[in-house]
Amino acid sequence: MLVEVNMQLTFKYKLKPHKPQCKIIDQTIELCRRQYNFRLGERFDWYDSTRTPINACPLNVSILPVDVIYQNIPEFRVQTRDGRKLDGNGVPITKKGDIHPNIVEGYVDWLTTQLADLKQTKQIFPEYKEIHSQVLQDVVNRVEYAFSRFTKPDKNGKTSGRPRFKGKHYYNSITYTQLTNAHIVKDERGRICLDLAKIGLVPMVFHRSIPNGFKVKTGTIIREADGYYVSLVIEDKRIPDQVEAEILPTEENTKGIDLGLYHYAFCSDGTEYDVPKFLRKSASKLAKLQQRLDKKKSDKTAKSYRILRNKIAKLHQHIARQRLDWQFKLAYKLFEDCDVIAVEDLKLKNLIRRNRAKIDQDGKFTENGQSAKSGLNKSFLDAAFGQFVNVLKFVAWKLGKRVIEVNPSETSQHCWNCLNRVSKTLNDRWHDCDNCGESLNRDENSAKLIKRLAIVGMDVTSLKKAITKAEAIVIEEASVLCVA
Ligand SMILES: [Zn+2]
């Protein structure tokens, strides 16, 4: 069965709003933040007083009876013109006047209930009338998303943490969910602008045009340290999403890459690319600024505090951009002489997980290596391997090439040539195999092994088993021959 997924890209542009427009955007973001916190609170009130964990006796019993919690929620609601559900092509599924139940099988259908309740909000707080309805509805959708990630496990059985109420510096964007190409227009002075309802024509730096055939779907206005940006999601329905090029990995066309901290990337052909130093340089600058900020913590309202905080935010932004730029350059370089790149399937989460606590005979906590690892964790985050793998995949898609992710377990502990286990600690930088005499840099050994695994399409253990099995058959055949 062919699943129709459309090609989606995100293009980010700098916005140059006028001063009054900045004020409107800031005001809208602030009102949306309050709305977000209010809607989240509504959900928590219900959740905290009605839930009962499965297999457990509830320790916190609801003070309010359930029907009291439900009393403010009408049983039915009437569909208005706003908030109709649309299918993928923008055709409304529901129409004005439809009657929907708010409580389905004993559970509140929160998304539609809260969407319908926005009308009430606008009546009580008239300032919400100044916000475009799509933007306000998107706030409720964000709450729904955060809450469902918290209560319902995803396909891996994992849930994310309890959603947080957002402080002023943690809510920085609003989304127009139904933008089109027609919203990019020229104003009377000939500048290219984004036509945003309730805000007006916002001049934008249109540094790259929308590719032919792509349609603008949504636009998110983001407030960053150095101003405002818009992130446009564009879509082409003719191109299926991220079709991986069907290239079979072979000895000649494949390159294995080991990502690490001593060398950012070590290739199976022996070339190495070092960890970019600019991050370390900026880090010391950042640390100095942070120290100065800590001294000023006593008066957070002071102008000097705000200026310094903004400086730090800008530096963070600068570092992130430098890193991304460098990663793109590296990705193109790596693909210069190969068609397939094999990398470890980074479970970065596992890498940065805390070490298990060690308890000695007296019941005291002893050294578990966490302090050493914390330094390592920081470097891992600095290096942003997860982001790099995504960049690699994007570049591969653009070039019609391929990235294969292999199971990383044991790749640093085995000899790439004979699969003999050579145990190493993090400090052992050299790989010496007693079995076949292979002697090379440990990262190069890993890279070569990763390449080999990608070509056969197995992980270390299954490859080892397959080889032992093949050897056993050979020996068996030989013994049969001897007997004969
Ligand atoms: Zn070996």
CA of 380 to the centre of ligand 1 (A): 29
5, pLDDT greater than 50: no
CA of 348 to the centre of ligand 1 (A): 28
DSSP3 helix / strand / coil % (the chain, rounded to 5): 45, 20, 35
CA of 475 to the centre of ligand 1 (A): 21
pLDDT digits (tens, 9 = 90+) for 376-423: 445 545 667 888 888 998 899 888 899 998 888 788 888 998 888 888
Q: Are 415 and 433 in contact (CB under 8 A)?
A: yes
54, pLDDT greater than 60: no
CA of 420 to the centre of ligand 1 (A): 5
Least-confidence region, from 112-126, 311-325, 369-383: 369-383
CA of 75 to the centre of ligand 1 (A): 71
Going from the C-alpha of 113 to that of each of 40, 110, 390, the distances in angstroms are 13, 5, 38
Measured CA to CA, the distance from residue 351 to residue 328 in angstroms comes to 24
Q: Which one-letter amino acid corresponds to residue 139?
A: V
Of all residues in the chain, the percent with pLDDT exceeding 70 is: 81
Stretch 353-370: mean pLDDT, rounded?
A: 59
CA of 257 to the centre of ligand 1 (A): 19
Q: What mean pLDDT value characterizes the chain?
A: 82
CA of 416 to the centre of ligand 1 (A): 7
CA of 437 to the centre of ligand 1 (A): 6
**pLDDT of res. 425:** 77
**pLDDT confidence bin for 283, thresholds 50/70/90:** confident
φ, ψ of residue 158 in degrees (nearest 5):
-105, 145
The alpha carbon torsion through 16, 19, 21, 24 (nearest 10 deg) reads 130
Least-confidence region, from 16-30, 42-56, 269-283, 370-384: 370-384
Measured CA to CA, the distance from residue 36 to residue 171 in angstroms comes to 9
Tell me which of 261 and 311 has the higher pLDDT.
Answer: 311
pLDDT digits (tens, 9 = 90+) for 437-453: 889 999 999 999 999 99
Where is mean pLDDT largest: 199-213, 230-244, 292-306, 426-440? 199-213
367, pLDDT greater than 70: no
220, pLDDT greater than 90: yes
**pLDDT of res. 103:** 74
Q: Which one-letter amino acid corresponds to residue 399?
A: L
CA of 414 to the centre of ligand 1 (A): 8
**pLDDT of res. 18:** 94
87, pLDDT greater than 80: no
Q: How far is CA 336 from the centre of its chain?
A: 27
**pLDDT of res. 262:** 76
CA of 445 to the centre of ligand 1 (A): 10
Of all residues in the chain, the percent with pLDDT exceeding 90 is: 34
55, pLDDT greater than 80: no
Tell me which of 275 and 302 has the higher pLDDT.
Answer: 302
pTM beyond 0.75:
no
Q: Which two tokens stand for residue 270?
A: 């022996």
**Helices (runs of H) and strands (runs of E) counted in the chain:** 11, 20
Burial profile 200-226: b = 16 or more Cβ within 10 angstroms, e = fewer: ebbbbebeeeeeeebebbbbbbbbeee
53, pLDDT greater than 50: no
φ, ψ of residue 360 in degrees (nearest 5):
-85, -175
Provide the 10 A C-beta neighbour count for residue 245: 13
Q: Are 445 and 260 in contact (CB under 8 A)?
A: no
